Amino acid sequence: MRTRQFLKPRTVPREVDEIVDSLPMQNIGSQGYDPWGMHPETAKISFTAVRWLYEHYFRAQAFGLEHIPDTGRVLIIGNHSGQLPMDGVLVSFAVANKADSPRLPRSMIERWFPTVPFLGNLVNSVGGVIGDPKNCAKMLEREEAIVVFPEGIRGSGKPYRLRYQLQRFGHGFMHLAMEHDTPIVPVGVVGCEETMPSLTNIKPLARMLSVPYFPLAPLLPLPARVFINFGKPMRYANDVRNEQDVEWRVEEVKDAIRGLIDTGIAQRKSIF
């Protein structure tokens, strides 16, 4: 609290203050927290840093933001890459910073995040939430926008040689979309693969540190250009007969994301 009070007036410009204040935020309690630990005042400090990363470091460009509904529940489903969850941060910022009806999406994060000192609280304070179906369901009931990377660590931890190859998607997001009558907005992120290219996963070190992977990669993200393309919303009725039907629908979403990745690669003139 005191750290926040010290940092905020010294770091947060008025524009960021206004951007965050303009975002619709439900469920914020008397002490400024929502049930998932989001704290707008802390988020402003993080947003200042993310804004700089988005605009100046990664020079990110977002297209198709009009496909994000202005209000109501939505699942934003994308490809995961880059060892660190930088893609989630950039996608969330793009939606929060859009000109018309901005909103702060909640990103589903890996379950081990809260075990790391500071990281868990920091990620929660800017809207990150443990990737648990119960969390997701409760947030959809509260009409939130949620960013999900169904590949999980299979996507983020993959080596550079597998770049832009979608790994297996979990089916959880599709079940949630069907059960909660939620539109899916596919998103293709291009550039994050190059921010932290990994040659291999040093498994013994990962086991020792109790983390899912330990990449042989640059210590800091490289300043690759990032292109984010949002696709048209996809809707699915809750009428599947078996899990095979769900898998077909998941493949449809994957195909849409593949198309958006191809668009991003075509848009990119240079990696850095």
Partner 1 sequence: MSQAKQPARRGAAAQNNTKNSTGTASRKKSPARRQKPAAQPQADKPRGIGGGSRGKVLVTGAAGALAQHVIADLKERDYKVVGVEFRGLQTDYPDTVDYVVDFNTRPFEDVFREHDFVGIVHLGRIRFTQSSRGRRYSANVTGTARLLRLALKYGVEQIIALSTFHVYGADARNPSLIDEEYPMRAANLMPEVVDAVELENLFNIHMYKHPELNIAILRPCNIAGPGISNEISRMLSQPVAPCLFGFSPLMQFIHVEDMSTAVMRVFEDKKPGVYNVAPDDYVAYQDALQLAGCRRLFLPSVPPWVAQRAVRALGRYAPPDYMIDFFKYAVVIDGSLFAKTFDFTPRHSLSDLFGHYRAAK
Which residues make up the interface to partner 1 (CB under 8 A)? 1-2, 27, 29-31, 33-37, 39, 111-121, 124, 129-130, 132, 134-135, 138
DSSP 96: H
Report the residue number, 127 or 264, with the smaller CB distance to partner 1. 127
The b-or-e profile of 99-120 (16+ CB within 10 A means b, else e) is eeebbbbbbbbbeebbeeeeeb
Instruction: Report, in Å, the least distance between residue 180 CB and partner 1.
Output: 15
Instruction: Report, in Å, the least distance between residue 162 CB and partner 1.
Output: 27
Report the residue number, 133 or 233, with the smaller CB distance to partner 1. 133
Instruction: Report, in Å, the least distance between residue 133 CB and partner 1.
Output: 8
DSSP 210: T
Instruction: Report, in Å, the least distance between residue 262 CB and partner 1.
Output: 35
Report the residue number, 135 or 263, with the smaller CB distance to partner 1. 135
Token representation of residue 231: 């696709």
DSSP states of 140-166 = HHTT-EEEE-TTTHHHHT--GGGTT--
Instruction: Report, in Å, the least distance between residue 47 CB and partner 1.
Output: 19
Whole-angstrom distance, CA of residue 172 vs CA of residue 47: 29
CA triplet 133, 174, 149: central angle to 5 degrees?
70
Report the residue number, 41 or 262, with the smaller CB distance to partner 1. 41
β-strand pairing of 227-230 with 184-190: antiparallel
* Element holding 93 (H helix, E strand): helix 86-96
Report the residue number, 121 or 263, with the smaller CB distance to partner 1. 121
β-strand pairing of 145-148 with 184-190: unpaired
Report the residue number, 29 or 204, with the smaller CB distance to partner 1. 29
Instruction: Report, in Å, the least distance between residue 136 CB and partner 1.
Output: 9
